[in-house]
Amino acid sequence: MKKWQRSSMASWLVCLFCLPSIFTSGNGLIFDENQLNGLATIANKSVTNASQPVSMSVQVLNCKAWGYCDETPELRFTLEYQGSDSSDYVMHIQVGDRHYESPSSPAEIEVSLTDNDGVNVRYWVESATTRSIYGQDDFRMRYIKNGSQFILELLGDQWESDIPSGALIWNIFPPLEVFEDGWAKRIEDPDELDTEIDYTLLAGKLIWEGIVTPTECGDNGLLGNGAANTCGMEAAREEVIEWQNLHNQDIQEASLNALVPARLLKGVIGQESQFYAKWELPKEYGLGMLTERGVDMLLQWNEAYFFYECSLIYGADYCRRGYLNIPDERQAVLIGYIMKDIGTVDEYAVIAAAIYASCVQANYIVSYYTDEAPADVADYETLWRISLGVYHAGFGCMSDAVLNAWDEDSDTLAWENIASHLVGDCNSAIDYFDKVVNYSVE
């Protein structure tokens, strides 16, 4: 399957949110509440890009970046620099409205509980002589109690592969129950994807092709529409179960690589094709019923996927200009290159990448039409409903529905309001998410 991706120095320890107004550690860490306005100016200075001689890295100690903690978690910030002298540089860390600085590295911060919204963490390096700012980066952090346990959640590119699917795009903390054991759960073992769903259309195709022979069934086990009747389904059930679970490992690998939920990926395939790839429908192909226009949208909105696939044909230097900045004829070549994966084991990666692209489109739609951050107006499930609606019904359907559903006097973008504006050919998006989830878990 093709793959595309995504020393003995002083250390200090400080408890967030529980410090006095001014604190200085023996190693030079300084916190001063009265300097926040001036420090905000420093934090917002333009970042120096030339050569970047220095930066900062962050590492989680005592806990996973996204998981339950047996000990109090700590964040270790380390100065990364070229050369032997780092004395010219000061590390800055701002957690919420509190700012800390240290001329020494590494710096270890003990994390305290946050509210459900979490806090923003920003960090950067400043040159003491030139006042230039280097390596500025940020992430969101939430550390909350769940029953008798504590869970740490970090939303940042550094932990992209650990974050529940879509959450980093939308900068949102999902409900615990959804990613712990629900449709958004990260699947490590392909056997967790096993399902035993009576796909009657698939059963009908297996009978029609002679893979299953229902000798004791009337009408050869088939209904007039080609689906298996009750007897035919019973005769084909064992083969149907094997068929729908045959590529669980490919689905799991594609989902991890594309950063989408494996269960939703499997559910999309179940809903679109019932795991039968040879349906003869106008301009729709394969297990995910992909269209050439759908692949065009995939290449527009999933930049990492575009760059990987484009580089295989035209080279990395050429492809850095972006999909929309290459000639139409070369876009057509790329679309055809992707479409050739339909019907092969690489198709699972294409479908997964298309779902990820739909999440990016959902982010744009909500941000553009509400003029708000998606996490501020919609919950995690609603954003996934919009994303799968984009995959199934298209960008136009979902953008029109969100535009018409948004009420500036309201602070919430509710799915029931969006669904009420999905009319005509867009109507099938209303319960598409529910059907996918139904096919994703047994």
Supply the pLDDT for residue 442.
Answer: 67
Which of 413, 418, 412 lies closest to 430, judged by CA? 418
Average pLDDT over residues 342-357: 95
pLDDT-derived band at 84 (thresholds 50, 70, 90) equals: low
> Phi and psi dihedrals of 156, rounded to 5?
-165, 155
Cβ-count burial 169-191 (b if 16+ within 10 Å, e if not): bbbbbbebebbeebbbbbbeebe
Q: To the nearest whole number, what is the mean pLDDT of the chain?
A: 87
Query: What is the C-alpha to C-alpha distance for residues 365 and 372, in angstroms, rounded to an integer?
Result: 10
Q: So what's the pLDDT on residue 45?
A: 43
Average pLDDT of the residues in 307-332:
96
Selection from 301, 410, 306 nearest residue 365 by Cα: 301
Residue 31 in this model has a pLDDT that exceeds 60: no
Q: Is the pLDDT of residue 39 over 50?
A: no
For residues 396 and 421, the answer to whether their CB atoms sit within 8 Å is: no
Residue 407: pLDDT band (50, 70, 90) is: confident
Residue at token pair 């045959």: 246
Q: With pLDDT > 70 as the criterion, what percentage of the chain qualifies?
A: 87
pLDDT of residue 343: 86
Higher pLDDT, 39 or 389: 389
Q: Is 90 in a helix, a strand, or coil? A: strand
* Rounded Cα–Cα distance for residues 57 and 71 (Å): 22
Q: What is the mean pLDDT of residues 145-167?
A: 92
| Better pLDDT: 436 or 90 | 436
Pick 27 or 331 by higher pLDDT.
331
Report the alpha-carbon distance of residue 250 to residue 327 in Å, rounded: 33
Quick: pLDDT tens for 181-238: 889 999 999 999 999 999 999 999 999 999 999 989 999 999 999 999 999 999 999 9
262-306: per-residue pLDDT in tens?
999 999 999 999 999 988 788 889 999 999 999 999 999 999 999
Lowest mean pLDDT among 31-40, 91-100, 353-362: 31-40
Q: Which residues of 264-289 are buried (b: 16+ CB within 10 A; e: fewer)?
A: bbbbbbbbbbbbbeeeeeeeebbbbb
Q: How far apart are the first and last CA of the chain?
A: 27
Instruction: Say if strands 149-155 and 133-146 run parallel, antiparallel, or are unpaired.
Output: antiparallel
> Three-state SS for 365?
helix
pLDDT at 329: 96
Per DSSP, the three-state class of 31 is strand
Position 43 scores a pLDDT of 39
The reported pLDDT for the residue numbered 83 is 64
Enumerate residues 6+ apart whose C-beta is below 8 A from 231. Answer: 214, 216, 217, 218, 221
pLDDT of residue 97 exceeding 70, the answer is yes
Instruction: For each of the domains in the chain, give its residue range(s) and CATH number, in order of start.
Output: 13-163 (2.60.40), 190-198+249-290+342-440 (1.10.530.10)
- Rounded Cα distance between 405 and 391, Å, is 19
23 vs 403 pLDDT, higher one: 403
∠ CA 341-342-346, nearest 5°, is 50
Name the more confident of 46 and 182: 182
pLDDT at position 86 is: 63
pLDDT of residue 178: 85
Confidence at 129, pLDDT banded by 50, 70, 90: confident
Residue 265: per-residue pLDDT? 97
